[in-house]
């Protein structure tokens, strides 16, 4: 498969974890590593990996160390409204990967339907789901114009009860 070449900043911020880190630091003057970890709900190793990538692009910086705490702040302002307005991922609980459906969609589905919403928690799941949607659309002759940086956060499955 051919690689798509894009601006490194846009590519970095297209990743959901990096976008969440950048948005979190955009909304606060500074945040510690522990605060960031709680906000985006990632393991410490992954957190540092993503912070290093953002720092290498001069988007964020580790501006002070206090004892064992590292404090981060946004270094550059990127004017990308779709990224800045994106909601942060919420920490997952021990509940199953299904959540309630937004009321607007629930009302539009008939009463004799069974609905399941699957939360896609990792970028691998999100990319796989996007690929699956593209293949299904192609197979059924549906024109699906998803932007290159589209990553679904959940999928709703609707079936008619028998």
* Distance, CA of 147 to CA of 12 (rounded, Å): 16
CA distance 32 to 116: 37
Q: Is residue 53 included in any domain, yes or no?
A: yes
The per-residue pLDDT for range 121-132, each reduced to its tens digit, is: 777 788 888 888
The length of the chain in residues reads 162
Distance of CA 113 to the CA centre of its chain: 29
Q: Which domain holds residue 136?
A: 103-160
pLDDT one-digit tens code per residue, 3-46: 656 678 878 887 888 888 998 998 889 999 999 999 888 888 89
Decide: pTM greater than 0.85.
no
Closest CA to 115 of 125, 105, 127: 105
CATH of the domain at 48: 1.10.10.10
Greatest mean pLDDT among 71-75, 87-91, 144-148, 151-155: 71-75
80 and 130 in a single domain? The answer is no
Torsion of CA 60, 63, 64, 68, to 10 degrees: 20
Residues 80 and 12 in one domain: yes
Contact 20, 89 (CB under 8 A): yes
- Classify residue 137: in a domain, yes or no: yes
Query: Residue 154 and residue 117: Cα distance in Å, rounded?
Result: 7
Q: Is residue 94, in this structure, part of any structural domain at all?
A: no
Q: Is residue 89 part of a domain?
A: no
Instruction: Tell me the DSSP string of 42-70.
Output: --HHHHHHHHHHHHHTTSEEEEEEETTEE
In this predicted model, what pLDDT tens digit does every residue of 87-131 receive, in sequence order?
444 544 444 343 444 555 555 565 667 777 788 877 778 888 888
């Amino acid at each position: 498969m051919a690689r798509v070449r894009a601006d490194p900043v846009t590519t970095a911020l297209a990743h959901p974890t990096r976008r969440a880190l950048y948005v979190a630091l955009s909304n606060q003057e500074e945040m510690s590593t522990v605060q960031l970890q709680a906000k985006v709900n990632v393991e410490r190793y992954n957190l540092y990996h993503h912070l290093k990538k953002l720092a290498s692009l001069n988007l964020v910086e580790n501006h002070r160390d206090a004892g064992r705490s590292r404090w981060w702040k946004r270094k550059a302002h990127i004017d990308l409204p779709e990224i800045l307005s994106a909601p942060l991922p919420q920490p997952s609980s021990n509940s199953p990967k299904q959540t309630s459906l937004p009321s607007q969609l629930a009302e539009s589905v008939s009463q004799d339907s069974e609905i399941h919403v699957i939360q896609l928690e990792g970028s691998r799941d999100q990319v796989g789901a996007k690929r699956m949607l593209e293949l299904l659309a192609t197979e059924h002759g549906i024109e699906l114009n998803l932007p290159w940086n589209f990553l679904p956060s959940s999928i709703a499955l609707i079936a008619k009860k028998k």
